[in-house]
Amino acid sequence: MQTLDIPDAELYYDPHFLKQEEADAYFLRLEREISWQQESIRMFGKELPMPRLTAWYGDKAYTYSGLYNAPKPWVPVLQELKDRVEQASGHIYNSVLLNFYRHGNDSMGWHADDEAALGDEPAIASLSLGGERRFSLKHRARQDLKPVHITLAHGSLLLMQGPTQHHWLHHIPKTKRPVQPRINLTFRRVKA
């Protein structure tokens, strides 16, 4: 993995974590085998559909964006990917959040993965498949630091750890560019 040299963060990126054919095959399996949900979010007193599909698998229940997610047992495709991501990243995970961005109008707002249940300096391993989308980070406090943009490639792995979630927010913005559907998996370790 290559180190991304960003202050107050610890980030590693491997654009070629999976070979092209492997990444193609995993995309198709996940599209078919995952039970994708269309959740809604409450915003300004209104129920709005979340701008992406989601799924949560793992050994522990988890509350994310105010949504309670019951534990759901690992399926073979996720177990395989979890093993490979653990091997490459040197961390053990017990949960995965999956996001399906159907088109350029699907997105994820600014946030940090800093829920108490993830512990103080969580390691989060993010695997991307399908259409390339821009992932941006912005420092919470330091205005002298420019936002960082990373185009997350098909089959790539991004590892965020150390103080990253303390100091930086990240998002996936909408795009008007035509883009292929994209699946992202973030492997996490949820504490008891």
Query: For residues 190 and 100, what is the distance between their CA atoms, to the nearest angstrom?
Result: 21
CB of 78 to ligand AKG, least distance (A): 15
Q: Count CA atoms within 13 Å of residue 173 on its CB side.
A: 11
Residue 85-124 contact track with ligand AKG, rule CB under 6 A, x = bound: ------------x-x--------x----x-----------
Q: Which of residues 162-191 bind ligand AKG (CB under 6 A)?
A: 170, 172, 184, 186
Query: For residues 48 and 154, what is the distance between their CA atoms, to the nearest angstrom?
Result: 29
Neighbours of 154 (CB within 10 A): 20
Count interface residues toward ligand AKG (CB under 6 A): 12
Q: Is the dihedral of CA 118, 79, 52, 88 positive or negative?
A: positive
Chain residues binding Mn ion by CB under 5 A are: 113
Chain residues binding ligand AKG by CB under 6 A are: 97, 99, 108, 113, 126, 128, 135, 152, 170, 172, 184, 186
